[in-house]
Amino acid sequence: MLAEVRPRFDKARPAAGDHTDLPTLVAAFASAREQVIKMVRTLDDAGWAREGISPSRGPLSVETYAATMDAHDTEHLRQIQDVRATLGLLPKRCEARAPMTLPEVVTAMEATASRLAAAGAGLSETQRRHRARPGEWCLNEVMAHLLHTETELFLPRMRRMVVEERPAFESFSPEPWARERDHSLDSFDTSLAAFGRARAATCAFLRGLAPGAGERLGLSTYFGPVTLAQYATHMPEHDLEHLQQTAGCRRAALGG
């Protein structure tokens, strides 16, 4: 479409299943997608307006065709989420852009603080600092991480999505946060109490949103464009991931 004048595309034929291993396929896709991103980043208005002829939809501009790629991604990300659900794996609804309703999000998140309390109940400070394996987080570090993401990422970002037009969010990595100081020294009970207060504020915020606010957009360097409802869905999924981690910490601390 960029090199030719209104090229006409043949109808795509169904391809036989590829038996290549998943890591190889993902790496090949990542390489091809990187080439696409590099190409479209150089386009000016005239480039976005160039056209090709689709056998099923007729004339399409580069901009329209690129949007179909995004929709195609979403379709198959949701398909992957369905497979994960069938296999009983942790949900990835946010990545699949398959949001829970905001009341469902609130209900799921309200139970997290009590489940965290149960994970730490009856453990000594030494046990709460126990690492199952070198380099893995202990219970105190998991709790401190959940407090940090609640207060510094999740709620502030959703508030921005309500009052700003398509705010952009920088990528977050827990590794620099973990290296800034020894969070294993953070008191589990103190972090849990602060998390409980912060989570109550998050739930109150979500309950108080005006109708339609869940469709407000933000731009994540990890998830891409997401609605507030899609982003909110990440919170209970993040909870589940780390609740599973706290269960492992507890078993290891008790010698299980």
Read off the pLDDT of each residue in 61-80 and give the average, rounded to a whole number. 91
179, 117: one domain: yes
Q: How many structural domains are present in the chain?
A: 2
CA-based torsion, 109, 201, 245, 228: positive or negative:
positive
Residues 110 and 231 in one domain: yes
CA 143, CA 125: separation in Å to the nearest integer? 13
Do 78 and 98 meet the contact criterion of CB atoms below 8 Å apart?
yes
Task: Let me know: does 170 contact 223? Beta carbons within 8 Å.
Answer: no
Q: Is residue 68 domain-shared with residue 156, that is, in the same domain?
A: no
Residues 222 and 131 in one domain: yes
Mean pLDDT value of segment 95-102:
93
> What's the pTM?
0.84
Bigger pLDDT: 12 vs 96: 96
Whether the Cβ atoms of residue 90 and residue 241 lie closer than 8 Å to each other: yes
Give me the domain span that covers residue 54.
23-87
pLDDT above 90: percentage of residues in the chain: 81
Residue 76 pLDDT exceeds 70: yes
Question: What token pair was written down for 228?
Answer: 């507030």
Asked whether residue 187 is assigned to any structural domain, the reply reads yes
* 224 pLDDT more than 90: no
Do 171 and 60 lie in a common domain? no
Q: What is the pLDDT of residues 104-142, one digit of tens each?
A: 999 999 999 999 999 999 999 999 999 999 989 999 999
Query: Is residue 5 in a domain?
Result: no
Cα–Cα dist 189/175, whole Å: 23
Look at residue 27 and tell me if it is in a domain. Answer: yes
Residue 93 lies in a domain: no
**pLDDT bracket for residue 70 (50, 70, 90):** confident
Mapping DSSP to helix (H, G, I), strand (E, B) and coil, where does residue 256 land? coil
Task: Pick the range with the lowest mean pLDDT from 7-16, 53-62, 144-153, 243-252.
Answer: 7-16
As a whole number, mean pLDDT of residues 68-87 equals 91
Mean pLDDT of 66-72: 89
Query: The domain that contains 115 carries what CATH number?
Result: 1.20.120.450
pLDDT of res. 171: 83
Domain assignment present for 3: no
Tokens 């507030």 locate to 228
State pLDDT tens for residues 33-44.
Answer: 999 999 999 999
107 in the same domain as 77: no
List residues bridging with 227 in a β-sheet: 217
pLDDT at residue number 6: 93
Q: Return the percentage of the chain with pLDDT > 70, whole number.
A: 100
Tell me: pLDDT of 256 over 70: no
Q: By CB neighbour count within 10 A (0-12 exposed, 13-18 middle, 19+ buried), where does 114 fall?
A: exposed
Query: For residue 252, which amino acid is it?
Result: A
> Tens digit of pLDDT for each residue in 153-163?
999 999 999 99
The answer to whether position 11 is within a domain reads no
DSSP-derived pairing of the beta strands 217-220 and 224-227: antiparallel
Residues 78 and 111 in one domain: no
Q: Are residues 221 and 125 in the same domain?
A: yes
The whole-number average pLDDT for the span 159-187 is 90
What is the number of other CB atoms lying within 10 angstroms of the CB of residue 60? 20
Residues 83 and 119 reside in one and the same domain: no
Shared-domain flag, residues 210 and 142: yes
Same domain, 152 and 237: yes
124 within a domain of the structure (yes/no): yes
The whole-angstrom separation of Cα 146 and Cα 239 is: 8
pLDDT exceeds 80 at position 58: yes
**pLDDT at 38 (0 to 100):** 93
Per-residue pLDDT at 174: 83
Which amino acid appears at position 44 of this protein? Answer: D
* Residue corresponding to tokens 């601390």: 253
Residue-level pLDDT at 18: 73
**Same domain (yes/no): 151, 31:** no
**What's the rounded mean pLDDT across residues 79-95?**
92
Assigned domain for 6 exists:
no
